Chains A and B, each alone.
Chain A
Amino acid sequence: MGKPHKVKLKSMDIVKTDNLVFEYIRRDDEGNPTGVTTALDHVNIDVRQGEFVGILGHNGSGKSTFAKHLNAILYPTEGTVIVNGMNTTDEDKLWDVRSSAGMVFQNPDNQIIGQVVEEDVGFGPENLGVPTKEIWSRVEESLRAVGMLEHRLKSPGKLSGGQKQRVSIAGVLAMHPKCIILDEPTAMLDPSGRREVVRAIRGLNDVEKMTVILITHYMDEVVHADRIFVMDKGKVVMQGTPREIFSEVPALEALRLDVPGPTRIAWELKRKGLPLPDGILTCEELITEIEKCR
Chain B
Amino acid sequence: MEIRRFFIAILFISLCNLGFGQRIRLESAGLTNVSFKGNVIFLKYNAPTAMRFYFMMSKPAIAPWSGLPVKGEAKLFYYKDNQEVVLVTAPFTNADWPSGGTFSQMIQKDFTVPANTVTVSNPVVDVQARWRYYKEGYPDPETTNGWTEWYYASTRPFALNPDEIPASSFSGSNSTCGESVYTITNPYKVTLENAAGIATLTSLGNNQWKVIRIGNAVGTVILRSTYEGKVFNYPIEVSSEMKGTIDGPVGIKQGWNDNYFYFKPEPGMDYTNVNWSVDSPHLITTQVDKYTFKISVPTNYPLMDKGRGDDVEIYIRSNGECGVMEKSRILRILPARPIKN
A and B bind:
no
